[in-house]
Amino acid sequence: MQFLIRILCAISALVLATNLHAFTTLRLPYAQAHSSIKRVLFVGNSLTYVGNIPAVFSTLSSNNGHAVQADMLVQGGATLTDRLKDETLVRAMQTHHYDGIVIQERGGDLIGAFGESAQSDAEFALTSLASIAKNAGMKIFFLGSYQLNPGASRIIDQ
């Protein structure tokens, strides 16, 4: 199972890296005035920290000529609802300026794997966290962990 999680993390990091060009072409006044280094905050759980996706993202970015500092706000088994309720995202944003945020859901929440209530809570939390980040001028990326389309998995396996 951990091997699978690491593979998913590596694939997720590559997907994020493909979006790097769009992210690094941001023209945020704060970033221009203060530094060419972009700061990205990863919010999630073990799916983010087991494979250390923030470090992988920073390294891939650096190796491609883009200075990115990635921080993470993670906890094993955490949900987006947890992050909304404990306000750790707001506190992190008060401590540091972030140019972008990568929001990772608890695996299966948004496809109803833990029931309708968990799905509804996750949808609300995702929307709320994205709104908070958007209001702070952050570029928003969503890192989904599971999907319902078996055909997509078959394509990856080929």
Letter string b/e over residues 19-48, b meaning 16 or more CB atoms within 10 A of that residue's CB: ebeebbeeeeeebeeeeeebbbbbbbbbbb
CATH number of 2-157: 3.40.50.2300
Rg over CA atoms, the chain = 16
> Cα–Cα distances in Å, from 28 out to 19, 23, 59, 61, 93?
17, 11, 22, 18, 16
Q: Which residues are CB-neighbours of 75 under 8 A, at least 6 positions away?
A: 45, 82
Please tell me the distance from the alpha carbon of residue 85 to that of residue 121, in angstroms, as a whole number.
11
Q: Which residues are CB-neighbours of 123 under 8 A, at least 6 positions away?
A: 110
Question: pLDDT value at position 8?
Answer: 45
- Least confident interval from 4-13, 31-40, 86-95: 4-13
Question: pLDDT value at position 35?
Answer: 57
Q: Which residues are CB-neighbours of 80 under 8 A, at least 6 positions away?
A: 43, 103, 105, 106, 109, 122, 125, 126, 129
* pLDDT of 20 above 50: no
Give the number of other Cβ atoms within 10 Å of residue 2's Cβ: 9
**pLDDT tens per residue, range 131-155:** 999 999 999 999 887 777 777 666 6
Over pLDDT 90: what percentage of the chain? 54
